[in-house]
């Protein structure tokens, strides 16, 4: 359960509504006029009192204390498989898919839907090969306004395959795909695999911005970049062994059921406190909002 509270906060702050549903559809009201004479000359009036919603409104900063300071913010770099790196990455790196907190099933993030045989996203051909088609949401974009595209999937795939072949970079689960062909579109990406496998479901957990990183020395280019984001927050400042601050991504494209832009929070701050006693003291003093003190359960 280590990190569970922080992950739950991220879910509440970033994706508290079903991203597939988007804004609620406007209701249609029919207006009817009548010329019939009134049946009574006595009128009554009713006073309705509307109560303001209780609880905190949108905005504010959530402060999370953790005993680990991330060795990197790049899940693709040495040390990128550290659990705190994974927790932080969910706040700012876009993903092809996410996991539903209730059902534990895969749900789409930047995708219109998770590819399945039932929705036509996965097809096994007569020669035994399998085609996987990804459709990207039209509104999904990076924090610089550039649309998230099939080119980002293609670039991520190339980097992922290179990472799996390296002993220094965390495994990215691409080596089992055995890809024979790919096709890139503005908002689509298709790959053909030599044989059927469910390994494709684990691919594209993190997406990379091809337009910002292609031609750089990856992962050095990633580390020296401007932390281009595609999630609900963007990285503001990182002080290793001290704190990390993230602020709202103004280009984030998800909304809740009422049409309100997400995330609800203005920002998230991670305070890295190695001593368990100090983490608990800070929580008791209301200096931090969320803690997950070691040892993990």
Query: Average pLDDT for residues 240-263, to the nearest whole number?
Result: 94
3-state helix, strand, coil in the chain (%, to 5): 20, 20, 60
Predicted confidence band at 46 (pLDDT cuts at 50, 70, 90)? very low
Residue ranges of E strands in the chain = 61-66, 97-99, 106-108, 122-124, 130-135, 179-184, 188-193, 233-239, 243-248, 267-272, 290-291
Residue 151, CA atoms < 13 Å, CB-side half-sphere: 12
Angle at which helix 4-14 crosses helix 83-92, to 10 degrees, equals 0
* Per-residue burial over 113-150, b = 16 or more CB atoms within 10 Å of its CB, e = otherwise: bbbeeeeebbeeeeeebbbbbbbbbeebbbbeebbbbb
How confident is the model over 134-161, as a mean pLDDT?
95
pLDDT in tens, 254-268: 999 899 999 999 999
Q: pLDDT per residue over 162-176, tens digit each?
A: 877 776 666 667 888
Q: How confident is the model at residue 22 (pLDDT cuts 50, 70, 90)?
A: very low
Spatial CA neighbour of 87 closest among 73, 108, 97: 73
Tokens of 66: 């953790």
Identify the pLDDT of residue 296: 62
How many Cβ atoms from other residues are within 10 Å of residue 101's Cβ?
12
Q: What's the pLDDT at 79?
A: 87
Q: Which pLDDT score, from 0 to 100, does residue 171 have? A: 67
User: Quick check: 245 pLDDT over 80?
Assistant: yes
What is the pairing mode between strands 290-291 and 61-66? parallel
DSSP type of residue 198: G
User: What Å distances lie between residue 242 and 10, 152, 289, CA to CA?
Assistant: 20, 32, 17
Cα–Cα distance measured from residue 42 to residue 77, given in angstroms and rounded to the nearest whole number: 78
What is the per-residue pLDDT across 104-145, written as a single tens digit (0 to 9) for each? 999 999 999 999 999 999 999 999 999 999 999 999 999 999
Whole-number average pLDDT of the chain: 82
Task: Tell me the pLDDT band of 234, cut-offs 50, 70 and 90.
Answer: very high
pTM, entire model = 0.77
Does 37 score more than 50 pLDDT?
no
State residue 174's pLDDT score: 83
Tell me the mean pLDDT in the region 90-101.
94
Tokens of 92: 């700012």
The answer to whether residue 231 scores a pLDDT higher than 60 is yes
SS3 222: helix
Give me the pLDDT at residue 225, please. Answer: 58
Residue 88, phi then psi, degrees to nearest 5:
-65, -40
Strand order in the sheet with 243-248: 233-239, 243-248, 267-272, 61-66, 290-291
**What pLDDT, on the 0 to 100 scale, is given for residue 195?**
94
Give the mean pLDDT of 239-248.
95
Residues 6+ apart with CB under 8 A from 117: 123, 124
26 vs 55, more confident: 55
Determine what percent of the chain is predicted with pLDDT higher than 90: 60
Q: Are strands 233-239 and 243-248 parallel, antiparallel or unpaired?
A: antiparallel
83 near 77, Cβ under 8 Å?
no
């Amino acid at each position: 359960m280590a990190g569970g509270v922080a992950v739950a906060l991220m879910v509440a702050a970033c994706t508290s509504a079903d991203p597939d549903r988007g804004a609620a559809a406007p209701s249609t009201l029919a207006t009817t006029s009548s010329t019939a004479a009134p049946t009574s000359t006595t009128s009554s009036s009713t006073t309705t009192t509307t109560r303001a919603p209780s609880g905190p409104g949108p905005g504010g900063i959530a402060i999370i204390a953790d005993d680990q300071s991330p060795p990197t913010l790049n899940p693709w770099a040495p040390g990128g498989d550290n659990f705190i790196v994974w927790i932080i990455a969910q706040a700012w790196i876009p993903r092809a898919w996410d996991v539903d907190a209730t059902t534990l099933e895969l749900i789409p993030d930047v995708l219109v839907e998770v590819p399945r045989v039932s929705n036509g996203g996965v097809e096994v051909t007569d020669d035994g090969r399998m085609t996987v088609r990804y459709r990207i949401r039209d509104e999904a974009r990076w924090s610089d306004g550039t649309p998230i595209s099939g080119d980002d999937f293609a670039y991520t795939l190339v980097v992922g395959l290179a990472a799996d072949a390296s002993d220094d970079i965390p495994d990215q689960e691409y080596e089992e795909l055995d890809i024979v062909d790919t096709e890139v579109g503005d908002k689509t990406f298709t790959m053909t695999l030599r044989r059927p496998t469910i390994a494709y479901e684990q691919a594209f957990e993190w997406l990379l911005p091809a337009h910002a990183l292609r031609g750089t020395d990856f992962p050095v280019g990633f580390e020296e970049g401007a932390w281009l984001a595609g999630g609900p927050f963007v990285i503001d400042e990182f002080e290793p062994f001290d704190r990390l601050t993230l602020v709202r991504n103004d280009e984030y494209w998800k909304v809740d059921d009422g049409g309100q832009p997400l995330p609800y929070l203005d920002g998230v701050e991670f305070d890295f406190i190695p001593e368990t006693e100090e983490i608990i003291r800070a929580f008791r003093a209301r200096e931090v909002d969320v803690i997950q003190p070691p040892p993990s359960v």
